[in-house]
Amino acid sequence: MSVQQYLADVELAWCPGCGNHGIRRALANGLALLGLPSHRVVLVTGIGQAAKMAHYVAVNGFNGLHGRTVASAAGVKMARHELTVIAESGDGDLYGEGGNHLLHNIRRNLDLTVIAHDNRVYGLTKGQASPTAGQGYTTKAQPFGSLNTPLNPSALAVALDASFVAQSFAGDVDGTAELIAEAVRHKGFALINVLQPCPIWNRVNTFAWYKERIYALADEGHDAADRTAAFSVATRDDGRIYTGVLYRRQGPSFVERHPVLKETQLAERALPTPDTVASLLEEFA
Amino acid sequence: MDIVIRMVGAAGQGVQTVGEILARTAFRSGHMLHAEQSYHSRIRGGENAFALRISDGPLWGTREDTDLLVALDQAMLDQFLPTVREGGWVVCDEERTLPDGDAVVRIPAGRLAKEELELPIAANMILLGAAAEVIGISEERLAEVVREALGKKADLNLRALALGAEHARRGPWTVPDAVDVRGQRMLLTGGAAVGAGAIAAGCRYVSSYPMTPGTAVLTYLAERAERWGLVVEQAEDEIAAINMALGAAYAGARSLVTTSGGGFALMVEGLSLAGMIETPVVVHIGQRPAPATGLPTRTGQEELLFCVHAGHGEFPRYVVAPRDAEEAFYLTAKAFDVAEKYQIPALILTDQYLVDSFVTSPPLDPTRTPARSHLLTADELQTMEHYDRFAVTPSGVSPRAVPGVSDKLVLVDSDEHDAYGRITEDLQVRKVMTEKRLRKEEGLRTELGEPLSYPEGSMEGRTVFLGWGSTYGAIREAVEMLNAEGGRYAMLHFSELWPLRTDELRQAFDKAERVVCIEGNATGQLAQLVAQETGLQVGTHIRRYDGRPLTARDIIEEVSP
């Protein structure tokens, strides 16, 4: 499969220099690595600059409401579980507006891949703090600086025993592509937090800022099966930021546990006939 | 025969269990029945009442007075004693305090349950046995039902029933064991009817957050999910519920969400998404009194205007409010079909009274709910060179494909989009797409059935009762009673409410001596909708909004001179 076939031939509304361009490339590369036919993939997105991805890649797309990305993706997967379902959106959508859906879909453990564009800022609404913004990060909406503790997506996901937790840097297209392929291959709920500079709004967490801090877990002999180790990497406070697979566990996914989904895909089940309806009504007689 | 046996007690005493057993026994004995349930919003204590009305003729609804009061505790006895009619009887434990009289049957139920059965909770079955003796219902039928319902626990309960019967005496009624009516009638609740209608229509996916009284439909479907091949998933919140349902519907699974007004309030952005991405979804809203949390376990009709207007922006929708359990089955199935055909959201409005009441109904006809596919097949898609999910058509309905069945990609977007589904800010496209979506309402209007007129024929010179949804029974009963005494009354009842048919309304207003609008709310929501759509003003209103269902008596008292 060529990378090009996954890229929609449309004008991109993203800013020049935005990390989204790299993530789009990584998504297409990842799908090419997997060799998935475009029509067997559904990309579910929410609202925000990141969420425009549904229009910029050539797969099936559900560009839903802000914050509801993972909820809609869960519905798609339950109805047609043989399709590859990827949910992708920004940090505001997935961690702010949609936080509850993230929590409970980690628990559901559907075989979904969630790609979070984490640039610590709201781009499309012009620069407000996102849930991952650092304490003291000043914006027009947070003139005293963000007072809140930043949300730590990796620690949160490990705490909830998510099936697959990883992080990458948008500037590393190949590494991100490989992680996406790995997350899709993994059977269960996978979260990839993609660190991403925002050249327009975020003057703190710049490309250079990330470059100074990120390191590959693979270089340090991390054991992704060790949940305690994963949690301590996710919560380290020495300023270094990990990339790679933080945590991975095996176990049956929602579909494997659900008695109705063992055989036919839900949406492929035949419509009832008058005979089936007649036996349905017997209990009232 | 028209008797009301009102079984009352605290939550946890098994009022519903004994009520259902007696209802089923009356059904098996060949009678018509209506059993209304009311309860407080708590798990133990409070009020629990099961009002079983039995008749040998058609029954339309509940009554507020009582022929036989079966009281399981003192507080509920005190509360409901004033509802007992002259000539009515009471069955209660010997330890209850109440004025003695010929019509009080005191049973040592608590003592017998402890001493004879070593099971204090069985006091309820002892009182049921006594009540059955008082009304002279068939012991055989009762035993049959207990065996069916309680399985292994049946023997002990049969002993309890016998103990109750021994200590009781016959009252002034006889509920005879009539002809076998199996096959001629069904016994069901409105909630079960909505659930069965959904399965009959090919519903495959249910995502909901529990909320009374919508939960009855959720549990009905969850219990039958494996047998009929549904996924019934409890969502983390109502916002998730509708967005999950839309995801599943986009992928081709017919989807239902069930809730109440408050939960639906959380879903309205998702409803608007359904309108924009032209993806069918059915939402069942069991009404209860609001605003906010309101009276969680009571009934009302307060969400009509909310449902007609819910969601930001302009898009077509189909809103129905079945009049009874029978129609709830057919209209639920129709809601799924209409939602699929026009790719719109459909809303089913019931209420606690309709959802929880057991009624005898004509047998539901499995051939009247044909489930038809409105999707492009893989073969049809294969022959297409290019596929546009939102192709602009004269009817406004675009041939619908779902992802994964062919090599054609399916893109939907909550932003304004072009025919393919691609986000656009082209304002000409915006105008075309708005008109395309709204054009679907023209076809939708052709699907609407006529409102129900009763009695058939002209409304000339009559007082016409205008109503919607579950108030049907009360209004029908009132019309029959008033006309039996020489009155000139008729009714025009709507169960398909949006889009609203106006021809019959105009005729009724034209012919009637006067029009009285009867509703379970305080502001006259149907009357407002009628005025909005026709300019016609209803002069007289009968409204009930205390959380209890409207009854025929509420209407008769208002109109009688």
Task: Tell which A residues from 58 to 87 touch B, by Cβ distance under 8 Å.
Answer: 58-65, 67-68, 71-80, 82-83
Closest residue, chain B, to A55 (C-alpha): B422
Task: Report d(CA A172, CA B249) in Å as an integer.
Answer: 36
Beta-carbon separation of B366 and A47 below 8 A = no
Q: Say whether residue A1 is in contact with chain B using an 8 A CB cutoff.
A: no
Sort out which chain A residues have CB atoms less than 8 A from B239's CB and list them. 67-68, 71, 100
Sort out which chain A residues have CB atoms less than 8 A from B370's CB and list them. 274
Measured CA angle at B209 (ends A259, B324), to 5 deg? 95
State the pLDDT at residue A84: 98
Q: Give the minimum alpha-carbon distance from B322 to chain A in angstroms, rounded to a whole number.
A: 18
Task: Report d(CA A216, CA A168) in Å as an integer.
Answer: 9
pLDDT in tens, B204-247: 999 999 999 999 999 999 999 999 999 999 999 999 999 999 99
User: Among all chains, which residue has been given the structure tokens 């929602």?
Assistant: A254
State the pLDDT at residue B164: 97
State the pLDDT at residue B128: 98
Q: Is the pLDDT of residue B179 over 80?
A: no
- Pairing of β B45-55 and β B2-11: antiparallel
State the pLDDT at residue B410: 98
pTM of the model as a whole: 0.97
Q: Give the minimum alpha-carbon distance from A177 to chain B in angstroms, rounded to a whole number.
A: 22
Inter-residue contact B475 to B452 (CB < 8 Å): no
Beta-carbon separation of A42 and B403 below 8 A = yes
For residue B139, give the nearest of B101, B98, B168, B104 by alpha carbon.
Answer: B168
Q: Is the pLDDT of residue B458 over 90?
A: no
pLDDT-derived band at B43 (thresholds 50, 70, 90) equals confident
Name the stretches of chain A with pLDDT < 70. none
Q: Say whether residue A52 is in contact with chain B using an 8 A CB cutoff.
A: yes
State the pLDDT at residue B143: 96
pLDDT in tens, B186-207: 999 999 999 999 999 999 999 9
Sort out which chain A residues have CB atoms less than 8 A from B423's CB and list them. 52, 55, 63
Backbone Cα Rg of chain A:
20
State the pLDDT at residue B379: 97
State the pLDDT at residue B68: 98
pLDDT-derived band at B520 (thresholds 50, 70, 90) equals very high
Mean pLDDT of B494-505: 98
Task: Report d(CA B482, CA B476) in Å as an integer.
Answer: 10
Complex ipTM tops 0.95: yes
Q: Is the pLDDT of residue B182 over 80?
A: no
Task: Report d(CA A67, CA B434) in Å as an integer.
Answer: 25
Mean pLDDT of B60-65: 94
Q: Is the pLDDT of residue B434 over 90?
A: yes
Inter-residue contact B531 to B506 (CB < 8 Å): no
State the pLDDT at residue A140: 92
Inter-residue contact B355 to B324 (CB < 8 Å): no
Q: Give the minimum alpha-carbon distance from A222 to chain B in angstroms, rounded to a whole number.
A: 34
Task: Tell which A residues from 141 to 180 touch B, by Cβ distance under 8 Å.
Answer: none
Q: Is the pLDDT of residue B180 over 80?
A: no
Over pLDDT 90: what percentage of chain B? 94
Beta-carbon separation of A267 and B237 below 8 A = no
Sort out which chain B residues have CB atoms less than 8 A from A83's CB and list them. 251, 403-404
Domains of chain B: 2-167 (3.40.920.10), 187-368 (3.40.50.970), 378-446 (no CATH), 452-559 (3.40.50.920)
Sort out which chain A residues have CB atoms less than 8 A from B359's CB and list them. none
Which of B186, B228, B236, B418 would best serve as a mutation to test chain A binding (most A beta carbons within 10 A)? B236
Which of B27, B250, B272 would best serve as a mutation to test chain A binding (most A beta carbons within 10 A)? B250
Task: Report d(CA A52, CA A43) in Å as an integer.
Answer: 11
Our CA dihedral for B400, B403, B407, B411, rounded to 10 degrees, sits at 70
Closest residue, chain B, to A272 (C-alpha): B202
The pair phi, psi for residue A62, each rounded to 5°, is -130, 100
CA distances for B94 relative to A164, A185, A195, B107, B186, angstroms = 65, 70, 75, 5, 37
Task: Report d(CA B229, CA A206) in Å as an integer.
Answer: 51
Alpha-helical (H) ranges within B201-260 are 215-228, 238-250
State the pLDDT at residue B370: 86
Q: Is the pLDDT of residue B260 over 90?
A: yes
Q: Is the pLDDT of residue B106 over 90?
A: yes
Q: What is the 3-state secondary structure (H, E, C) of B137-163?
A: CCHHHHHHHHHHHHHHHHHHHHHHHHH
Backbone Cα Rg of chain B:
26
Mean pLDDT of B142-168: 95
The count of C-alpha atoms lying within 13 angstroms of the C-alpha of A52, restricted to the half-sphere facing its C-beta, is: 17
Q: Which CATH class is domain A3-284?
A: alpha beta
Q: Is the pLDDT of residue B102 over 80?
A: no
Measured CA angle at B213 (ends B208, B214), to 5 deg? 25
